[in-house]
Chain A
C-alpha cells in the first residue's frame, strides 16, 4: 500500500498536512513587515537568514477568524516553484504516515473559501487530516 508522510499543523480547529519534502523548515514567530496594497492573505515579509520571504496567513486564506490576540503564529516555510514561502499556522503537529486508502475527496461538511485550498482528507483515527494544496494556498493572486 502506497503511503506518504505529511507534516501536520493546526489552523484554528483544523488539522492540515503538507508533503514532508515540500517543507524547508519550521521556525517560531518572526517579526513581520507589512506590505501595503498586497493582496489579501499576504501577512508580510520576514527575514529568513538574509533572505526576504513572504508570509501567507492561512487563517486569512481559509476564511477563518483572525488569531486571538496574544497568540503568535508559527512559520512553516515551504518551497513552491523553487521559492521559499512561509505559511503562518497556529501550531505545529507531528509527521503523520498516511496511506491512499485513508484518502477521500474534500468532505461535504467543509465549506467556505477553504475548500478550494484542500485536496482532500485523510481519515485518521480520531480526526480528519486535510491535505493542503500548497500551490493554491500561496497563490494569493487567485481569489478563493
Chain B
C-alpha cells in the first residue's frame, strides 16, 4: 500500500508544520493569555491532527489529541484561566504528539510509550479546581470513550440508514440497537456501551444531519471536518461499492474489528487497495482544504510545495548557465561585433536575474529556525529556575535552506548554553544590580554577502581565568601555551573539544561536548564563530555564515602565472603599494614580514611561498596585498596581480586533492579554465599567522586592555644601542617613522609636527644615558618612534629599532635602580630591560601628566609597577 504510505507522509509533513505553529502559539499564549485568536489557532491545529489520526487509525495519537482538544475547548470558551501548569501540560502534549509522529515516520507505528498518564493529566486540567483531580482522572477515562462511541455510531447510523433519515425521533434508539449486539455476552458488557451512548443522545440528530446534508455540525468549530467527505461516500463514488457493503463493514468495525474500514472492504473483495487509496487521497485533500487556517488561506493559494531535489537541480543548472554566461560575455567582449555585445549584455542581465530568482526559491527566513527558540528558552528557564526573555531582531533575514538546516542545531546549542551558563538566577542578578529577568538577544543581518547572527546574553560573562584553569586541569593547554595567549584567545578555548566550564553537569549542558561541535558545524558550511565576553556584563557569540554555498562572489588574482579565486567573504580590503613604499613598506619583525596598515602591523604572506611555487621575479614597483581575515585575525596576502571580481560556482575537489586542505574547491572561470579557490583559513594556518597577538599591535592591545590582571602583558621589544628594552604594549599607541629632518627644537627639547600637533620627542638613548649624541644627526634618517597618546596629548619615544612583540610572560625578573628602568627580565631567552614609561614620557614632556586626568596617570604608574 505505497499510496497509503504517501498519505501518511503527507499527514506527517502537514502535522509537523502545524506543530511548529503550535509551539509559537503556545508560548505566545502565555504572554497573552486572553488571546482568543491564539487559542482558536491552537485548537484548530490539535483538532486537525486528531481528525486525521483517527482516520488513519493512530489510536494513541487520537486519544492524546482528544484530551488536549477538550482542555483547549474549555480554555477557548473562557471557562478556565490559562496558568503555567496548563501551558506546561499543553506543551507536553505537543512533545508527545511530536514523539508519536517521529515514531510513525521512523517505524510506521505509534511506538511503545504509554501516554495514558498525560491523557489523564490533560483531562484533570480541564477541571476548574485542580483539587478535584482524582475524580476528574476517572472522568477522563469515561470522556474519550463517550466521545468515541457516538462518533462511530454516527457513521454507523449514517451508513446503516439506507432510506432518507425520515424521522428524527427514531434515531436515538438506533445507537442502542447497534450497541446491543456489539457488547460481549454478560451484564457488564451490556451496561458499558449503554452508558456512554446516553449523554450523546441529544447531539445525535444534529450529527446525523451533518452526515446526510453536509450542514455544519453544531458542537464543533467552524473549521471542523464537516466538509470532509466520509470514506464510504467517496468509495461509493469512486468504486463499485454500494451502501450495503459499507454498512456491513462499518458494522464489523462496530463489532470490534479494529482494522480501518478500507482494509475490511478489501478483505471482502468489494474494493481494491487502489480504490481505497484513491478515496483516502481524495479525503485527505478535502480535509487539507477544509481545515486550512483562514489567515493562511490566501498564502496557500499563491504558494505551492516543491520538492527540494527539484530546486537543487535547478540551482545546479543555473550554476552551469552562469558559467556559460561568463564565457560568452568574455568571448563577446573580445569581438568587435556590436550586435553580439548587445545580446551578451542582455544575456548577462537575464542570467543574473534568473540566478537571483532561483536562489530565492531556496531562501527561507531565519525565523523558520528561530521560531522554535522561544519554546526552548521557556522550558529551560522553567527547569533552571531562571527568568529569561528573548528578543529576536531580523527574523526576516533570509538564508539558503541547506544552511538553515545546518545552523539549526548549533544555534539551539548556543542558546541553551546562554540560558544555562550565561544568564544567572534571578537572585544573583538582583544582587548584581541587574533586572531579575535575563535578556537573550538574537540578531541576524546581512553584511558583505554574509549573514551575521549574534547571540548576546546579559549574563555573567565568561571568566578567562576560570577558562584557563579549566583548560589546564583538563590538559587542553599547557601553562606555556596559556601564557602565550591573550584573554580572547583563552576564552576561545571553549571551542576546544572536551571543554566545559559548567561546575555542575546539568541535563542541559556541561557534558563537555558542545561548543566544539558548534564550531565544527559552522565551519563545515564555510562560516565562522567567535566569542566575546565581558565578565559580569554578558557574552556575545557571533556566527558568520555564507548566504548560499553554491555560488559565491570571489576575487580572482594571479600568482606565478595561475589564477586563484579568493572568496569575498574573507576579503577586508585591497591594497596596492606603489613606488618607494613598495620597497620600504614591508618590514621584518624577527624575520616575519609585516606591513604597516594605518599604524597597525599587518603580517604578510606571499601566496607563491605558501603554495611552494617557484618565485617569479618580483615586480618591485607595485605590491598587491589582499587584507584577509580568518578566525577573527587579519593578515595580508601578497599576490602578483589582482584581476576581477566575479560570481563563481563552487565545485568540489576530487578525492585525490581534498587532502591538501589549502583549497576550498575549484571553479570554472569565464574562459573555461579551471581555477582553484583558496581556503583563507587554511592559508592563514599554513602561514602561521593565526595566533592572537603575533605582530598585531591592535589585537594584542585590545587583549591587554581586557586582560587586566590575568595573562601576561605583551611587550614591544625595541633596541636602543646594544640594549633590548621592553615596553608594555598597552603603552604603545602607534609606531611611526619620523623624518629626522622634520625634528625641530623648542628650548632644550625636540619636537616634530605630527598630525597637526607638536609631538614632543625623547630619544631613549639619551634618557637611558646610552650616549649623549644628537649633534651629528643624519637628516635623511627615519626615526623609529613609539607614540603614546593619552587624551589629546601625545609623546614620541625614539628608539633605534623595533625588534618584536613578545606575548610570553617574562621568565625571571630582577630589580634595577637605574633611571628610566622599572626592572629587568628574561624575554624570549634574552635579558631585556623594562622601560619605566612614566619617566620616559616625562623626559619628553615633563607636563604630560599634569595635563591628563589623574586617573590616567595612575594607570601609567600601574603599568610601570607591573614591570617591577
Residue A64 interfacial (CB < 8 Å) = no
A52 to B323, CA, bound (A): 13
- B657–A35 touching, CB < 8 Å: yes
Segment at the interface with A among B240-248, B581-589, B647-655: B647-655
Residue B755 interfacial (CB < 8 Å) = no
Over the window 629-665 of chain B, the binary record of Cβ atoms lying under 8 Å from chain A Cβ atoms (1 yes, 0 no) is 0000000000000000000000111111101101100
Segment at the interface with B among A37-45, A107-115, A118-126: A37-45
Residue A50 interfacial (CB < 8 Å) = yes
Contact residue among A35, A138, A139, A140 (Cβ-Cβ distance under 8 Å from B676): A35
**B328 to A: closest C-beta gap in Å:** 14
Contact residue among A33, A39, A51 (Cβ-Cβ distance under 8 Å from B562): A33
Segment at the interface with A among B667-675, B725-733, B796-804: B667-675
Residue A141 interfacial (CB < 8 Å) = yes
Which residue from chain B places its CB closest to the CB of A51 in the assembled complex? B651
Contact residue among A36, A37, A38, A52 (Cβ-Cβ distance under 8 Å from B668): A52
**Given the complex, which residues of B lie within 8 Å of A47, measured CB to CB?**
668, 672-674
A34 to B564, CA, bound (A): 11
**Given the complex, which residues of A lie within 8 Å of B676, measured CB to CB?**
33, 35, 45
- A42–B675 touching, CB < 8 Å: no
A52 with B656: in contact, given A33-B562, A35-B676, A47-B673 (CB under 8 Å)? no
Over the window 86-109 of chain A, the binary record of Cβ atoms lying under 8 Å from chain B Cβ atoms (1 yes, 0 no) is 000000000000000000000000
Over the window 49-78 of chain B, the binary record of Cβ atoms lying under 8 Å from chain A Cβ atoms (1 yes, 0 no) is 000000000000000000000000000000
- A46–B659 touching, CB < 8 Å: no
**B771 to A: closest C-beta gap in Å:** 50
A47 to B649, CA, bound (A): 13
**B77 to A: closest C-beta gap in Å:** 61
A113 to B562, CA, bound (A): 30
A37 with B611: in contact, given A52-B674, A138-B656, A141-B656 (CB under 8 Å)? yes
A37 with B672: in contact, given A52-B653, A85-B654 (CB under 8 Å)? no
Residue A56 interfacial (CB < 8 Å) = yes
- B656–A50 touching, CB < 8 Å: no
**Given the complex, which residues of A lie within 8 Å of B431, measured CB to CB?**
none
Contact residue among A32, A34, A36, A39 (Cβ-Cβ distance under 8 Å from B656): A39
A56 to B562, CA, bound (A): 19
Residue A8 interfacial (CB < 8 Å) = no
- B666–A45 touching, CB < 8 Å: yes
Residue B258 interfacial (CB < 8 Å) = no
- A83–B654 touching, CB < 8 Å: yes
Which residue from chain A places its CB closest to the CB of B608 in the assembled complex? A36
Which residue from chain A places its CB closest to the CB of B675 in the assembled complex? A33
Residue A75 interfacial (CB < 8 Å) = no
- B654–A53 touching, CB < 8 Å: yes
Which residue from chain B places its CB closest to the CB of A53 in the assembled complex? B654
**Given the complex, which residues of A lie within 8 Å of B657, measured CB to CB?**
35, 38, 42, 54
Residue A31 interfacial (CB < 8 Å) = yes
Residue B612 interfacial (CB < 8 Å) = yes
**B652 to A: closest C-beta gap in Å:** 8
A52 to B668, CA, bound (A): 8
- A140–B656 touching, CB < 8 Å: yes
Residue A127 interfacial (CB < 8 Å) = no
Q: Which of B306-325 contact A (CB under 8 A)?
A: 320, 323
A81 to B655, CA, bound (A): 10
Which residue from chain A places its CB closest to the CB of B560 in the assembled complex? A36
**Given the complex, which residues of B lie within 8 Å of A38, measured CB to CB?**
656-657, 660
- A42–B656 touching, CB < 8 Å: yes
**A87 to B: closest C-beta gap in Å:** 12
Residue B135 interfacial (CB < 8 Å) = no
**B431 to A: closest C-beta gap in Å:** 57
**Given the complex, which residues of B lie within 8 Å of A45, measured CB to CB?**
666, 674, 676
**B586 to A: closest C-beta gap in Å:** 23
Q: Which of A9-42 contact B (CB under 8 A)?
A: 31-39, 42
**A6 to B: closest C-beta gap in Å:** 24
- A36–B320 touching, CB < 8 Å: no
Residue B613 interfacial (CB < 8 Å) = yes
Over the window 600-617 of chain B, the binary record of Cβ atoms lying under 8 Å from chain A Cβ atoms (1 yes, 0 no) is 000000000001110000
- A36–B675 touching, CB < 8 Å: no
**Given the complex, which residues of B lie within 8 Å of A140, measured CB to CB?**
656
- B673–A33 touching, CB < 8 Å: yes
**A45 to B: closest C-beta gap in Å:** 4
- A54–B320 touching, CB < 8 Å: no
**Given the complex, which residues of A lie within 8 Å of B666, measured CB to CB?**
33, 45, 52
- B656–A56 touching, CB < 8 Å: yes
- A54–B656 touching, CB < 8 Å: yes
A37 with B655: in contact, given A45-B674, A52-B668 (CB under 8 Å)? no
A139 to B655, CA, bound (A): 9
**A50 to B: closest C-beta gap in Å:** 5
- B674–A33 touching, CB < 8 Å: yes
Over the window 48-66 of chain A, the binary record of Cβ atoms lying under 8 Å from chain B Cβ atoms (1 yes, 0 no) is 0011111010000000000
A32 to B675, CA, bound (A): 10
- A36–B611 touching, CB < 8 Å: yes
- B613–A36 touching, CB < 8 Å: yes
- B320–A50 touching, CB < 8 Å: yes
**A134 to B: closest C-beta gap in Å:** 13
**Given the complex, which residues of A lie within 8 Å of B667, measured CB to CB?**
52
Which residue from chain A places its CB closest to the CB of B562 in the assembled complex? A34
Q: Which of A31, A34, A46 has the most CB of B within 10 A?
A: A34
**B323 to A: closest C-beta gap in Å:** 6
Contact residue among B320, B655, B659, B675 (Cβ-Cβ distance under 8 Å from A83): B655
**Given the complex, which residues of A lie within 8 Å of B653, measured CB to CB?**
52, 54
- A52–B655 touching, CB < 8 Å: no
A56 to B663, CA, bound (A): 18
**Given the complex, which residues of A lie within 8 Å of B672, measured CB to CB?**
31, 47
A-B contact pairs, 5 of them (CB 8 A): A36-B613, A37-B662, A52-B668, A83-B654, A141-B659
A interface residues, Cβ below 8 angstroms from B = 31-39, 42, 44-47, 50-54, 56, 81, 83, 85, 138-141
- Of all A-B residue pairs in the complex, the 10 with the closest CB atoms, nearest first, are A36-B611, A45-B674, A33-B674, A54-B654, A52-B666, A52-B651, A140-B656, A50-B320, A37-B660, A47-B668
